[in-house]
Structure 1
Amino acid sequence: MPRYAHANVMTGARRMEVRELPLPELSADDGLLKVEAAGVCGSDVKSFFSDLSPRVLGHENVGRIEAIGASAARRWGLAEGDRVVLEEYLPCGHCNYCRSSEFRLCLDSDPSTNPAAIRYGRTPVTTAPALWGGFSDFLYLHPRTVAHKLPEHVSAVEGTLALPISNGYEWTYREGRVGPGDTVLVIGPGQQGLGCVIAAKAAGAAKIIVTGLPSDKERLDVARQLGADHTLFADDPDLREQISALTGGDLVDVVIDTAAGNLATVSLALDVAAKRGRVIAAAATMKPLGELDFYKVNRKYLSLHGVRGHSYAAVEWAIDLIAQGRHPLHLMCSMEVSVDHAEQAILGTAGELDIPVIHASVVPA
């Protein structure tokens, strides 16, 4: 085994630097992952465009257990050589959130509310042992790691879709309660939105509508191949009328905003949701929506539900779905780069390259 990991470290806004980072000395409670592939999430794009402390990005990680301590092996039910998908969360395991199966809300793994929190793809290299992200050939397995076994026949690149697809399942089925006969609108055809399409189809939705921008044409094409019945351009001035016509005037049972969470998308959701409909706010601008006509929530008896992340059960479902091979998931896997060129995968995900990218992966040599 080498003494160093080959990693691409984000050193500032739009800056990355390839470094050799020393592999840690392991104890009985932790381990080391040989990374096979790391998917690029929209949050990686946001981090890359921000001036954050140096870190190794990448939290949609697939790999093989390179080394594992005896205690960790018993606790995780894993052994050297096992293939796994990692969750980004590193929950404490004993707070109220963890004990009620909501460990994605654990403050010890939530950097948005706790600066000392640790999480894969978000923890700076100044926190030992530095190897917290998948844009590297090795990743440190903290004692609080949450891992899921991945079948041998699943490609590593398709395995990186487990988290975005699990988000779609969490938001669409577990939180949105989509069921047979429902009409669903997914705002945004990115990797999370396409995960919602897959979940809505699996849940038996009668009609699935997806909106996107003209620049999302390729993504909307993929949405149709994954089960969407109709795709519409979000900038059409008669978008609301089109949705009403597609539903026979009944409007939409469940609206899922994966696109922006801004005044335009939330207003659209409130407008086209049917009475007693459910609006799932999966995206947020992090700014007040001062002109939002909130009265529609009351008038239409809507349920407005904020969501974030995925549950353990959602990731298990996603891995099982990927393993079945019944969906053309390869259509989402549109770019692979080496660790040395990780920034290209981020720029592609951000739409800054000449090629359309839905889901990119960093694949160590």
Structure 2
Amino acid sequence: MIRSEGIPKIMKALKIYGPGDLRYVETPVPEIDEDEVLVKVIGTGICAGDVKIIDGAQMFWGGGVLPKWVSEPVTLGHEFTGRVVAIGDNARKKYGLNLGDMAVAEQIIPCGECPFCMNGEHWMCVQADIYGSKKEIAEGSMAEYIKFYKNSRIYKVPESIPEKNTAMIEPLSCAVHTIERADIKFKDVVVVAGLGPIGLCDLQLAKLKNPRLVIGIDVRENRLNLGKEYGADYVFNPRDCDVVEEIKKLTNGLGCDVYIHCSGHSEGVLQGLKMVRSHGKYVEFSVFMNDTAVDWSIIGDRKELDVIGAHISGIEGYPVAIHMLDKKIIDVDKIITHDFKMEDYKEAFQIAKDGRQSIKVVIRS
């Protein structure tokens, strides 16, 4: 094992102890073994999922058909990069990393042994943990240091990518997987509903597929304006117009071919099912607070829809995201709107949750 000098024993971190109970605490710097990596965190993006963990969403704390996911107290954060300060010999050989390198781990820690892992579908691992969700075995990155665990999928990050932008690797990787799942064709009219960080990446990636139209929907003007800047042919605010009717006007009354939902709001589900044409495609990438109810007749008996889920970053997400940022194919500069020190976490989370001025909020140690 090789280690940098001056690694402290104690660090600051943001730990969740229960719904509404986020604390700025001192905690031991993680110890690593020969298969692991310790990095000094560069920055962590606040995900909508982090906000919903704090707010008590049943996705994380259990409810409906969903079992409890979070094991508290745990350090939050899964959108991160860092610089290597210690690395085990086995990890160094496996990943080709050295001290000082910028590195990222995928947000998921797969088991490597379940049927999905054995079939090359690690992101669907039945025993997987997500960084920032499980105490001691999947601690997150809202801290000064983070450990990349043994089964992590780790990548070196090129120095050509500005440090300030590297927290967007994870959201972009999710967008890559979502757009691959959408399987967009040249003739398609594509709607991206929810122009947050992932939605704005979805929009840019969808444009690269060169469909007939790409349309953005959101209730916040700053996000609609950026969507237009990123190449949307049209943007609509549901508070200002009947977006379903607007889409039908553009499609001779049929509706869109592909509807990509990433707002996390139940209204977006209903809107999409109304908006997508018969034999169209509905793609869901969202974390919801609670159950969403709808008459499923529209999926089968009325429209015979393809309903497709997209979960985190798939097999292609991280390598493609890193490549696209390295080659400046996708822009994230304008998506990152706010930057806070970790001790100012209350303001950071409030601004992220409000969303009227922010898009991506980053916390730095």
Q: Could you tell me which of 74, 87, 92 is aligned with 1:73?
A: 92
Determine the structure 2 residue equivalent to 1:157: 164
Letter in 1 for 2:215: I
Q: Which amino acid aligns with 2:199?
A: G
Q: Residues of 1 paired with 2:307 and 2:217: CA distance?
A: 19
Q: 1:321 aligns with which of 319, 324, 329?
A: 324
Q: SS of the counterpart of 1:161?
A: helix
Equivalent of 2:145, from 127, 138, 145? 138
- The equivalences for 1:83-102 within 5 A come to 83-102=102-121
* Residue-pair matches, total: 346
Identify the residue that residue 272 of structure 1 maps to in structure 2: 275
Give, as a single letter, the amino acid of the residue that structure 2 aligns with 1:71: N
1:62/1:241 Cα in 2 relative to 1: closer, same or farther (>3 Å)? Answer: same
Cα distance, 1:251 vs. partner?
2.1
Check 1:58–1:277 CA distance in 2 against 1; reply closer, same or farther (3 A cut).
same
User: What is the aligned partner in structure 2 of residue 82 from structure 1?
Assistant: 101
Alpha-carbon contact 1:5-1:137 (below 8 Å) kept: yes
Identity across aligned pairs (percent)? 25
How do 1:73-222 residues align onto structure 2 when only pairs under 5 Å count? Answer: 73-109=92-128, 118-124=129-135, 127=136, 132-172=139-179, 174-213=180-219, 216-222=220-226
The residue number in structure 1 matching 2:14 is: 8
Which of 58, 61, 72 is residue 77 of structure 2 equivalent to?
Answer: 58
Query: How many Å separate the matches in 2 of 1:134 and 1:284?
Result: 20
Moved more, 283-292 or 75-84: 283-292
| Whole-Å separation in 2 of the counterparts to 1:338 and 1:287 | 31
**Secondary structure of the residue that 1:331 maps to in structure 2?**
coil
Cα offset, 1:240, TM superposition: 1.5
Q: Partners of 1:286 and 1:335 in 2: how far apart?
A: 24
Deviation at 1:357, TM superposition (A): 0.8
Unmatched 5+ residue regions in structure 1? 110-117
Structure 2 residue runs without a partner (length 5+): 1-6, 62-69
Aligned residues of 1:226 and 1:327 also touching (Cα < 8 A): no
| Residues 270-290 of structure 1 deviation map (CA, whole Å, 9 limit, x = unaligned) | 222123211112226475544
Equivalent of 2:343 in 324, 340, 343: 340
- Following superposition, the deviation at residue 291 of structure 1 comes to 4.0
Normalising by structure 2, we get a TM-score of: 0.88
Q: After superposition, what is the alpha-carbon deviation per residue over 1:103-125, rounded to whole angstroms, capped at 9, x for unaligned?
A: 1221222xxxxxxxx3311122x
Alpha-carbon spacing, 1:154–1:103, altered in 2? closer, same or farther (3 Å) = same
TM-fit CA distance, 1:85: 2.0
Between 334-343 and 232-241, the greater mean CA deviation after superposition: 232-241
Counterpart Cα distance in 2 of 1:344 and 1:55? 20
Q: SS at the partner of 2:130?
A: coil
**Structure 1 stretch 81-90 or stretch 232-241: which is displaced more?**
232-241
Give the whole-Å Cα distance in 2 for the aligned partners of 1:9 and 1:146: 24
Check 1:16–1:234 CA distance in 2 against 1; reply closer, same or farther (3 A cut). same
Task: Identify if the C-alpha distance between structure 1 residues 76 and 273 changes in structure 2 by more than 3 Å, giving closer, same or farther.
Answer: same
